[in-house]
């Protein structure tokens, strides 16, 4: 899927108009009871073209007793959105918090099947009405481990997240499926743990379409906030700012603007949601963390956000229906030619050549394959590798594999097929057995 940044000057006068001009949405979290507050609803409908339930679609709200579903709050929000031209984010199918008591008391296979049933039932109920679902929320630990958070969900087996994504895709194939978390506001151990999971999911065809960055922020913004969004986008997922709120005070307007600019500068950043509308609607109590005063007046942070939306480049948004779930790359697109491997001074005459380097251990190996374009360059390439008997490919990145044993054919993916004369790109695969003696052959198109 390709999205391009386009340069369009504009001067929208509301958040939603400015975001829409740039191919994006601007949303707010809505607490159900606020829909009967007319001052609140006036701002919500004037400024926001996306909504998310602050609590009404969570597990404790939607399945208070096992197998008895309550969609009252969620349906009310969806109806409001449909009547007012707003898209809906779904939040959240599985989360270690806000579970109903009955689920908190379950474990093992009983909990696993209750979890999957919950995902299936709720995603089926809202089928066709949700732009993006937070399928799994906050599954990684804070701190330096980069590991999964311990929870009753995690203790059902490490594959619970991918199982949830597959169940959600089966139930509502039209919704984008997101992983959502906080303290991921830069390149750190936690965001890297999530990055590695997403890369692994893409390599194995687990249906994930987007990553949400909650962005509950304090008094400063990490210098690599945008770079972090971009590295996820480079894995071929959309990114979204999903729960933005910022500590009030001197730096608030700058931080809102910085977050908005970062999103605008990343072509796969498709929308921003603030976690509430007015300061007094916020879960953050007296932090004054949002864009509107309790009176409804716009704050300086509103103006800086609007200006950043208007100044940013636009995108052509991808279709709402996610693409097929074919396995994608497990590593970010390589820069071609690789900065560490200068092109040979004399490119091979035509076609392309490939060479392999191996990292082996008893029972397995990782192969890195370097593809070098000949003098005519390539529009695409295929590399064939004959594996020794007993070996098989288990995982491929930056190429698409056909077959897993015997002669395996690796084709370029969309971002690394076109190479100039002498340019180099790399892909890799992991295998079981021995990879010794493989001789790749390259064909260019
Ligand atoms: O509705 C009951 C009410 O009947 C009862 O009298 C009252 C007594 O405590 O509780 C009310 O429920 C509260 C609910 O918000 C609605 O106001 C819950 O106690 C309270 O825990 C709940 O807090 C929500 C919190 O998630 C739960 O952890 C916040 O509103 C909500 O903003 C917050 O949102 C989370 C995101 O889902 C995930 N990311 C972090 C974000 C902020 O914590």
**Closest to 425 measured CA to CA, from 357, 341, 327:** 341
Residue nearest atom 36 of ligand 1, based on CA coordinates: 54
CA of 55 to the centre of ligand 1 (A): 6
Residue nearest atom 42 of ligand 1, based on CA coordinates: 283
Indicate which residues carry an active-site annotation: 138, 243
Q: Which of 95, 283, 285, 289 to mutate to test the pocket of ligand 1 (most atoms within 8 A of CB)?
A: 283
Q: In this predicted structure, what is the pLDDT of residue 414?
A: 76
Q: Is the peptide bond before 99 cis (omega within 30 degrees of 0)?
A: no
The CA-based angle 307-311-317, given to 5 degrees, is: 110
pLDDT along the chain (445 residues), means of 10: 56 94 97 97 98 98 98 98 97 98 97 97 98 98 98 98 97 97 98 98 97 98 98 98 98 98 98 98 97 98 98 72 41 38 57 86 76 91 95 81 94 83 80 90 94
pLDDT digits (tens, 9 = 90+) for 324-381: 443 433 344 333 333 333 444 466 777 999 999 876 666 777 687 889 999 999 999 9
pTM, to two decimals = 0.74
Residue nearest atom 11 of ligand 1, based on CA coordinates: 55
CB 401 within 8 A of CB 330: no
Q: In this predicted structure, what is the pLDDT of residue 323?
A: 40
Q: In this predicted structure, what is the pLDDT of residue 272?
A: 98
| Residue appearing with tokens 């029972």 | 363
CA of 367 to the centre of ligand 1 (A): 49
- Find how far residue 125's CA is from the centre of its chain: 23
CA of 262 to the centre of ligand 1 (A): 29
Q: Which of 32, 54, 96 to mutate to test the pocket of ligand 1 (most atoms within 8 A of CB)?
A: 54
Q: In this predicted structure, what is the pLDDT of residue 395?
A: 74
Q: Which atom belonging to ligand 1 lies closest to the Cα atom of 182?
A: 39
Residue nearest atom 1 of ligand 1, based on CA coordinates: 55
Residue nearest atom 13 of ligand 1, based on CA coordinates: 55
Measured CA distances, 291 to 179, 216, 224, 274, 373 (Å): 25, 14, 24, 8, 52
Q: Please state the φ and ψ torsions of residue 315, each to the nearest 5 degrees.
A: -130, 160
pLDDT digits (tens, 9 = 90+) for 125-156: 999 999 999 999 999 999 999 999 999 999 99
Within the chain, how many helices (H) and strands (E) appear?
Answer: 11, 19
Q: Which atom belonging to ligand 1 lies closest to the Cα atom of 58?
A: 37
Within 6 Å (CB) of ligand 1, which residues are found? 54-55, 97-98, 137, 182, 214, 243, 283
**Closest to 272 measured CA to CA, from 224, 312, 300:** 312
Q: In this predicted structure, what is the pLDDT of residue 353?
A: 94
Q: In this predicted structure, what is the pLDDT of residue 358?
A: 77
């Amino acid at each position: 899927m390709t999205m391009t940044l386009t340069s369009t000057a504009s001067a929208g006068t509301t958040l939603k108009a400015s975001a829409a001009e740039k191919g994006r949405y601007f949303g707010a979290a809505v607490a159900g009871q606020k829909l009967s507050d007319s001052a609140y609803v006036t701002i919500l409908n004037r400024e926001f073209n996306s909504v998310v339930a602050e609590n009404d679609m969570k597990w404790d709200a939607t399945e208070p007793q096992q197998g008895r579903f309550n969609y009252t709050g969620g349906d009310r929000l969806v109806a409001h959105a449909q009547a007012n031209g707003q898209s809906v984010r779904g939040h959240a199918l599985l989360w270690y918090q806000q579970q109903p008591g009955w689920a908190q008391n379950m474990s093992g296979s009983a909990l696993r099947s209750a979890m999957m049933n919950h995902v299936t039932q709720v995603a089926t109920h809202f089928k066709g009405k949700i732009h993006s679902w937070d399928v799994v929320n906050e599954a990684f630990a804070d701190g330096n481990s980069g590991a999964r958070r311990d929870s009753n969900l995690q203790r059902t087996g490490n594959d619970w997240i991918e199982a949830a994504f597959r169940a959600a895709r089966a139930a509502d194939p039209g919704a984008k499926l997101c992983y959502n978390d906080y303290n991921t506001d830069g390149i750190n151990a936690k965001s890297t743990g999530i990055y590695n999971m997403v890369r692994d999911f893409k390599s194995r065809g687990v249906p994930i379409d987007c990553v949400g960055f909650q962005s509950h922020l304090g008094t400063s913004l990490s210098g690599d906030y945008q770079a972090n969004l971009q590295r996820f986008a480079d894995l071929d997922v959309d990114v979204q700012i999903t729960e933005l709120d910022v500590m009030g005070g001197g730096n608030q307007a700058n931080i809102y603007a910085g977050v908005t600019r970062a999103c605008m500068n990343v072509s796969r950043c498709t929308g921003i949601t603030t976690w509430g509308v007015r300061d007094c609607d916020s879960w953050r109590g007296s932090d004054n963390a949002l864009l509107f005063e309790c009176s409804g007046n716009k704050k300086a942070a509103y103006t800086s956000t609007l200006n950043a939306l208007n100044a940013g480049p636009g995108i052509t948004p991808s279709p709402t229906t996610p693409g097929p779930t074919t396995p994608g790359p497990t590593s970010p697109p390589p820069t071609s030619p690789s900065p560490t491997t200068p092109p040979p001074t004399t490119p091979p005459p035509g076609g392309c050549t490939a060479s392999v380097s191996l990292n082996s251990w008893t029972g397995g190996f990782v192969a890195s394959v370097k593809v070098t374009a000949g003098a005519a360059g390539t529009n695409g390439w295929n590399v064939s590798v004959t594996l020794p008997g007993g070996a098989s490919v288990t995982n491929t990145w930056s190429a698409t594999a056909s077959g897993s044993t015997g002669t395996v054919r690796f084709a370029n993916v969309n971002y690394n097929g076109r190479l100039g004369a002498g340019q180099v790109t790399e892909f890799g695969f992991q295998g079981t057995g021995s990879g010794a003696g493989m001789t790749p052959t390259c064909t260019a198109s």
